[in-house]
């Protein structure tokens, strides 16, 4: 779409609808968007509320809402969808293409944050930190006759094998940090993509070998038909019973019922999750029955959410809109 097609007079500004404002945090400053046009702000929107809220809008800013014929058929003026996220599973690309609606995401804004959280989850589980913190705060340490206490065994990362599923920007960042800890790196691509690692000793291998040899398996892959339920009971049976699984990618990549079985039957030693099959978490999820934080640690999809990261995400969306209004593509996915 050319800039001329977006030209408007002062009485007809670009209409922007922010549909999931709270997804960027209650501390977010949305003022940069108000400089771009006439903004309608909604802290939260349900799919059934979308048709009314977007019927007159030119640009939608959203996160996880479904963008499809059901929600957008009445949005006759819609020209651009801006996601405050990297994943595009909620976009019906075929429908958007048929309407000539463009869509863009934000890529690369959370690489450091998600890699950081990967290690926060791993080290909490790896060194049994919940147990040792409880031991001190219970008063037991102050009553001890020894300066040290190591009832829960843990190991060095140095010399261990770290398996990474998905070697995009986040996977590579994790590999670099794990390598600094002294880990051997194995990686796997569900798509069959051939990775190149100039100057690195990282080994791309088959899925089965990664599962069988890794002491830590972390997931950084997109959700698609090749990765959904990739980590299932068969995969857990191949893993070491001392291994730890970390998922900071997409919840449905790991079969939650099978993970419950793997943890309760000691097929693996532990799991750290920042993503789940359904978010917010289902109240009857079997994982809620595992209350031992030495074995299972779950955080509420916040790996991407340090203050700097969320504001960087906002700024990327602003730049996407500015580029679109100038007749240029930026981070376009459809």
Pick the catalytic residue: 52, 152, 279, 282? 279
Q: What is the spatial distance between Cα 187 and Cα 239, in angstroms, rounded to a whole number? A: 15
Q: How far apart are CA 271 and CA 290, in angstroms?
A: 11
Burial (CB < 10 A; 0-12, 13-18, 19+), residue 180, is exposed
For this structure, is 250 an active site residue? yes
Tell me the sheet residues that pair with 61. 18, 82
Strand partners, 187: 164, 204
The span from the CA of 131 to the CA of 119, in Å, is 18
Q: Under a CB-based contact definition with an 8 Å cutoff, are residues 211 and 219 in contact?
A: no
Is the bond preceding residue 107 a cis peptide, omega within 30 degrees? no
Residue 220 is among the residues annotated as catalytic for this protein: no
Q: Are 182 and 201 in contact (CB under 8 A)?
A: no
Q: Annotated catalytic residue: which of 99, 301, 312, 332?
A: 301
Quote the distance between the C-alpha of residue 293 and its chain's center. 21
CA-based nearest residue to 118, from 182, 50, 164, 183: 164
Strand partners, 62: 83
Q: How many CB atoms lie within 10 A of CB 104?
A: 23
The catalytic residue among 117, 250, 294, 310 is 250
279 counts as catalytic: yes
Residues serving a catalytic function are 250, 279, 301
């Amino acid at each position: 779409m050319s800039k001329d097609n977006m030209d408007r007079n002062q009485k007809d500004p670009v209409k922007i609808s922010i549909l999931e404002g709270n997804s960027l945090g209650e501390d977010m400053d949305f003022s940069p968007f108000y400089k771009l046009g006439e903004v309608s702000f909604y802290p939260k929107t349900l799919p059934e509320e979308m048709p009314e809220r977007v019927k007159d809008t030119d640009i939608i800013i959203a996160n996880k809402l479904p963008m499809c014929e059901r929600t957008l058929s009445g949005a006759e003026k819609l020209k651009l969808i801006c996601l405050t996220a990297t994943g595009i599973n909620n976009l019906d690309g075929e429908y958007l293409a048929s309407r000539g609606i463009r869509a863009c995401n934000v890529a690369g804004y959370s690489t450091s944050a998600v890699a950081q959280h990967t290690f926060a989850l791993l080290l909490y589980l790896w060194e049994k930190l919940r147990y040792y913190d409880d031991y001190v705060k219970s008063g037991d340490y102050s009553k001890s006759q020894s300066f040290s206490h190591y009832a829960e065994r843990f190991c060095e990362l140095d010399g261990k094998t770290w398996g990474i599923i998905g070697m995009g920007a986040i996977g590579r960042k994790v590999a670099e940090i794990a390598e600094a800890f002294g880990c051997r790196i194995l990686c796997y691509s569900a798509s069959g993509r051939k990775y190149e690692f100039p100057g690195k000793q990282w080994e791309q291998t088959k899925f089965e070998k990664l599962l069988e040899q890794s002491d830590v398996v972390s997931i950084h892959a997109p959700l698609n038909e090749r990765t959904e339920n990739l980590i299932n009971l068969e995969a857990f049976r191949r893993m070491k019973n001392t291994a730890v699984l970390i998922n900071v990618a997409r919840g449905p990549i790991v079969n939650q019922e099978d993970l419950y079985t793997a943890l309760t039957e000691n097929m693996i030693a532990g799991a750290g999750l920042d993503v789940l099959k359904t978010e917010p978490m289902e109240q009857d999820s079997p994982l809620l029955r595992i209350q031992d934080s030495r074995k299972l640690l779950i955080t509420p999809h916040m790996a991407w959410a340090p203050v700097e990261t969320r504001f960087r995400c906002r700024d990327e969306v602003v730049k996407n809109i500015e580029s679109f209004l100038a007749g240029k593509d930026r981070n376009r996915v459809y």
